[in-house]
Amino acid sequence: MTVAIAILMKDPAIAKTRLSPVLANDARERLALLLFENTLQFFRRTHPDSPVGIVTASQETAAISRQYGASIVEETGAGGINAAAGRASEWAIAIGATSLLVIHADIATLVDEEVDRLLAARDRHQVVVGVSADGGTNALLLTPPDAIPFCYGPNSAHAHEAAARKSGRSCETLQLACLSRDIDTPQDLRDHFEMSRSPADAQCFAVATIPEIAAGDDVATLIIEALVRTHRALAPGDIVVIAQKVVSKSEGRLVPARQFQPSQQAIALAAEIGKDPHKVEAILSESSDVIRARRQPPDGLLITRHRHGWICANAGIDESNLGDGHDGMLLLLPEDPDASARRIRDGLETKYGAPIGVIVSDTFGRPWRNGLVNIAIGVAGVPAIIDWAGRTDAYGRGLKATLPAFADEVAAAAGLLMQKDAGLPVIVLRGLEWDAVSASSARDVLRPAAQELFL
**Rounded-to-integer distance, Cα 251 and Cα 279, Å:** 20
**Rounded-to-integer distance, Cα 151 and Cα 129, Å:** 12
The pLDDT of residue 392 is: 54
From the list 334, 327, 317, 329, the residue with the least C-alpha distance to 250 is 334
**Rounded-to-integer distance, Cα 55 and Cα 110, Å:** 19
The pLDDT of residue 39 is: 92
Longest dimension (CA), the chain: 93
**Rounded-to-integer distance, Cα 171 and Cα 129, Å:** 8
With residue 283 as reference, give the H or E element that holds it: helix 277-285
Per-residue pLDDT, averaged over 71-100, amounts to 92
Bigger pLDDT: 45 vs 21: 45
Per-residue pLDDT, averaged over 76-83, amounts to 85
* Contacts of residue 428, Cβ cutoff 8 Å, sequence gap at least 6: 204, 205, 206, 207, 234, 238, 239, 240, 241
DSSP state of 127: E
The pLDDT of residue 199 is: 54
**Rounded-to-integer distance, Cα 112 and Cα 104, Å:** 16
- Residues of the chain above pLDDT 90, percent: 63
The pLDDT of residue 401 is: 57
* Contacts of residue 455, Cβ cutoff 8 Å, sequence gap at least 6: 291, 449
- Half-sphere exposure of residue 280, counting CA atoms within 13 Å on the CB side? 23
Side by side, the strands of the sheet bearing 426-430 are 203-206, 426-430, 239-243, 357-366, 369-380
Q: Are 398 and 165 in contact (CB under 8 A)?
A: no
Q: List, in order of start, the domains of the chain with CATH numbers.
A: 3-187 (3.90.550.10), 196-252+333-451 (3.30.1330.100), 255-328 (3.90.1660.10)
**Rounded-to-integer distance, Cα 273 and Cα 302, Å:** 8
- Summarize pLDDT for 88-110 with one digit per residue, the tens: 999 999 999 999 999 999 888 88
The pLDDT of residue 208 is: 93
Side by side, the strands of the sheet bearing 311-313 are 287-294, 301-306, 311-313
Measured from the Cβ of residue 155, the count of other Cβ atoms closer than 10 Å reads 14
**Rounded-to-integer distance, Cα 185 and Cα 177, Å:** 18
Average pLDDT, the chain: 88
pTM value? 0.63
